[in-house]
């Protein structure tokens, strides 16, 4: 008798996959192809990038943004801290000559209560205050003058002009001529309307009255202009031409006029006049008494018929 191969219904199969036997039974009947490859599909889908949810991508992007922001904050803080320390070191350097000039300048500014031109601006007229400071420095023996700088426009900066005070010292043969700049409103020259906290900290370190050599002034200008550039970049604001380093340097370097103030002489009494010598009284020959100068002169009356 021919053996008959037993056939199992479709609803009961033993499948072999990856050296493992899986018995599936029950209704309804299943498709072999779907059963075999369903495991492969699940593994592929579980490891494919498409299976990762959008939330995971969003979280990763947020983490990267936070890391970048933290990195930028650290770099910004480091920049402002370096600029602050550098500015402090530049301002602390001073000479005995600068200290003397600074002392006279501050005393003059504190004692100034009015001005001769009757144009009061703030705590006094700037022009009259500069004249007073320059005069007192001259009285103290310094070669002081009021300087006016003026420059033409260029592709980088616009034209402008500025007035300030300087002292030229020629006492040192080795150093030669030394020029010291005096700016009565130095801090105001660097203030910004929309400044960051780091830049405002730099401005607050600046003295109200600056007295220093040109080399030290240029160092301060460079630090503040770099700070202004950084501040505008963070705030995504265009740097104005009059805030650039070349423009700020031109204020105190492009000198075209140097005028010495009139030295005030000490007044000894209330009757002091500006004339160097008293005027001699003028006499006329018609009113002169000749007998006073020629006593032996005798006049003889002549009778005319």
For residues 207 and 116, membership in a common domain is answered with yes
278 falls within a domain? no
Q: How far apart are CA 301 and CA 305, in angstroms?
A: 13
The region, left, alpha or beta by phi > 0 then psi within -120 to 50, assigned to residue 8 is beta
For 220-257, write each residue's pLDDT tens digit: 999 999 999 999 988 888 888 888 999 999 999 987 88
For residues 137 and 31, membership in a common domain is answered with no
- For the segment 174-195, the average pLDDT, to the nearest whole number, is 91
For 47-83, write each residue's pLDDT tens digit: 555 544 555 555 565 555 556 566 667 888 899 999 9
Burial track 60-85 (b if 16+ CB lie within 10 A, e otherwise) = eeeeeeeeeeeeeeeeeeeebeebbe
Q: Pick the more confident residue, 176 or 123.
A: 176
299 falls within a domain? no
Looking at the predicted structure, is the pLDDT value of residue 215 above 90? yes
281 falls within a domain? no
Q: How many domains does the chain have?
A: 2
Highest average pLDDT, of 50-54, 118-122, 208-212, 286-290, comes from 208-212
For residues 35 and 148, membership in a common domain is answered with no
Provide the residue range defining the domain that includes 135.
65-259
3 falls within a domain? no
50 falls within a domain? no
For residues 84 and 204, membership in a common domain is answered with yes
For residues 135 and 76, membership in a common domain is answered with yes
Looking at the predicted structure, is the pLDDT value of residue 204 above 60? yes
Q: How far apart are CA 251 and CA 148, in angstroms?
A: 9
For residues 106 and 147, membership in a common domain is answered with yes
* Predicted confidence band of residue 126 (pLDDT cuts 50, 70, 90): confident
CB atoms near residue 233 (< 10 Å): 11
For 165-179, write each residue's pLDDT tens digit: 999 998 877 778 899
Q: Pick the more confident residue, 203 or 20.
A: 203
Percent above pLDDT 70 for the chain = 57
CA atoms within 13 Å, Cβ hemisphere of 252: 28
Looking at the predicted structure, is the pLDDT value of residue 159 above 60? yes
Q: How far apart are CA 22 and CA 13, in angstroms?
A: 8
Looking at residue 127, its pLDDT comes to: 86
Q: Which of 15-19, 111-115, 273-277 has the lowest mean pLDDT?
A: 273-277
Looking at residue 173, its pLDDT comes to: 76
Looking at residue 240, its pLDDT comes to: 87
For residues 230 and 123, membership in a common domain is answered with yes
For residues 115 and 249, membership in a common domain is answered with yes
For residues 162 and 202, membership in a common domain is answered with yes
For residues 28 and 98, membership in a common domain is answered with no
For residues 25 and 163, membership in a common domain is answered with no
For residues 27 and 87, membership in a common domain is answered with no
Paired sense of beta strands 143-151 and 160-169, if any: antiparallel
> In the predicted model, what is the mean pLDDT of the chain?
75
For 134-150, write each residue's pLDDT tens digit: 999 999 999 999 999 99
Would you state the structure tokens that stand for residue 46, as one six-digit string? 């579980």
Looking at residue 274, its pLDDT comes to: 35
279 falls within a domain? no
* Predicted confidence band of residue 125 (pLDDT cuts 50, 70, 90): confident
Burial track 112-148 (b if 16+ CB lie within 10 A, e otherwise) = eeebeeeeeeeebbeebbbbbbbbbbbeeebebbbbe
Q: Pick the more confident residue, 227 or 11.
A: 227
Report residue 300 CA to chain centroid gap. 94
Looking at residue 297, its pLDDT comes to: 53
163 falls within a domain? yes
Percent above pLDDT 90 for the chain = 40
181 falls within a domain? yes
Q: Which residues contact 46 (CB under 8 A, 6 or more apart)?
A: none
Q: Pick the more confident residue, 39 or 82.
A: 82
Looking at residue 34, its pLDDT comes to: 53
The DSSP secondary structure of the chain, one letter per residue, reads: -PPPPP---TTEEEEEETTEEEEEESSS---HHHHHHHHHHHHHHHHSGGGS-HHHHHHHHHHHHHHHHHHHHHHHHHHHHHHHHHHHHHHH---HHHHHHHHHHHHHHHH----TT----TTS-HHHHHHHHHHHHHHTT-EEEEEEEEE---SSS--EEEEEEEEEE---TTT--EEEEEETTTGGGG--TT--HHHHHHHHHS-SSEEEEHHHHHHHHHHHHHHHHHHHHHTT-PPPGGGSHHHHHHHHH-EEEEEPPPPPPPP-STT--SSSSPPPPP--TTT--HHHH-TT---------
């Amino acid at each position: 008798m021919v053996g008959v191969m037993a056939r199992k219904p479709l609803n009961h199969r033993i499948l072999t996959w990856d050296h493992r036997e899986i018995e599936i039974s029950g209704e309804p009947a299943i498709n072999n192809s779907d059963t075999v490859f369903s495991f492969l599909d699940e593994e592929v889908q579980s490891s494919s990038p498409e299976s990762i949810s959008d939330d995971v991508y969003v979280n990763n992007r947020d983490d990267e943004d936070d890391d970048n922001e933290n990195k930028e904050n650290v770099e910004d803080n480091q920049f402002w801290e370096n600029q602050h320390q550098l500015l402090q070191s530049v301002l602390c350097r001073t000479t005995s000559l600068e200290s003397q000039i600074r002392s006279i300048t501050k005393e003059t500014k504190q004692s100034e209560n009015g001005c001769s031109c009757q144009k009061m601006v703030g705590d006094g007229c700037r022009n009259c205050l500069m004249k007073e400071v320059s005069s007192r420095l001259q009285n103290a023996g310094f070669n002081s003058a009021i300087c006016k700088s003026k420059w033409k426009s260029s592709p980088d900066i616009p034209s402008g002009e500025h007035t300030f005070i300087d002292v030229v010292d020629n006492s040192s043969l080795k150093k030669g001529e030394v020029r010291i700049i005096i700016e009565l409103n130095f801090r105001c020259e660097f203030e910004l309307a929309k400044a960051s906290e780091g830049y405002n900290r730099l401005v607050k370190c600046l003295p109200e009255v600056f007295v220093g050599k040109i080399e030290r002034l240029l160092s301060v200008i460079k630090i503040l202009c770099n700070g202004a550039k950084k501040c505008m970049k963070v705030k995504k604001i265009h740097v104005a031409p009059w805030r650039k380093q070349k423009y700020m340097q031109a204020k105190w370097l492009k000198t075209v006029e140097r005028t010495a103030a009139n030295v005030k002489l000490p007044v000894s009494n209330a009757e002091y006049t500006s004339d160097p010598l008293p005027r001699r009284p003028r006499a006329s020959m018609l009113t002169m008494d000749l007998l006073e100068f020629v006593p032996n002169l005798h006049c003889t009356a002549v009778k005319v018929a």
